[in-house]
Amino acid sequence: MSSERSPKVQSGGAFDIDWDVKDPNHKVLLDGKRERAGDYVFTGNTVGEYSFCFENDMSTLTDKLVDFDIMVESEPRREPPAKPGQIAEHTSALEESVFKLNGMLMNINRMQKHHHTQERRGFSVVKSTQNRLFWYAVFESLAIIGMAVFQVYVLQTFFTKTGRRYKV
């Protein structure tokens, strides 16, 4: 059995996650630390349940949304001998067309998921930038108001008789 997996962090934190794949004997087949996305292929030689574990230890305060696909490919089974005639020829051509269409649709599906992941990451960056710009604008506005109040105070103390320390 050959298996392919492709984890992608959709949202949360720095878009990274720790992961590992273990066979039924708890032997680690694949692992990754602080990875954002990737495509991995491994061959499972042991019969049983394989575990796919994701850990978010480095960022315990933020939740993460992880999207992953697992595609399992096995050895093709032997087909029973076909009866002689045209039906077998048409069936094999039809099956070949169906397999090609299936492959193309899987590729389109994978591309759509990739673009969806990129869109979510871009949205997160835009949201973060918008938040920073908002707080920068608030700080800048408060600084301008503070400077205006300070200038009014300085001018009032400079031109009033009681507040004048130095005579002009």
Q: pLDDT tens across 13-71, in order?
A: 667 778 788 888 888 887 878 776 777 777 777 788 888 888 877 666 677 777 777 77
Which amino acid makes up residue 101? L
Residue 8, classified by CB atoms within 10 Å of its CB into exposed (0-12), middle (13-18) or buried (19+), is buried
What per-residue confidence (pLDDT) applies to 49? 85
Structure-token match 């320390």, residue found: 165
Provide the whole-model pTM: 0.47
Helix (H) or strand (E) holding 35: strand 28-35
Residue 19, classified by CB atoms within 10 Å of its CB into exposed (0-12), middle (13-18) or buried (19+), is buried
Which of 8-12, 77-81, 115-119, 157-161 tops mean pLDDT? Answer: 115-119
pLDDT-based confidence at residue 82 (cuts at 50, 70, 90):
low
Q: Determine the Cα angle at 20 with ends 15 and 24, to 5°.
A: 155
- Can you read off the two tokens belonging to residue 46? 């042991």
pLDDT-based confidence at residue 7 (cuts at 50, 70, 90):
low
What per-residue confidence (pLDDT) applies to 148? 97
Residue 9 has pLDDT above 70, yes or no: no
Helix (H) or strand (E) holding 3: strand 2-11
Residue 47, classified by CB atoms within 10 Å of its CB into exposed (0-12), middle (13-18) or buried (19+), is exposed
What per-residue confidence (pLDDT) applies to 134? 97
What per-residue confidence (pLDDT) applies to 57? 73
Q: Identify the sign of the CA torsion 23, 31, 111, 96.
A: negative
Count of alpha carbons within 13 Å of 137, Cβ hemisphere only? 6
Residues 97-149 pLDDT 10s: 888 898 899 889 888 888 887 888 888 889 989 999 999 999 999 999 999 99
Residue 83 has pLDDT above 70, yes or no: no
Give the residue extent of every domain in the chain.
1-75, 96-168
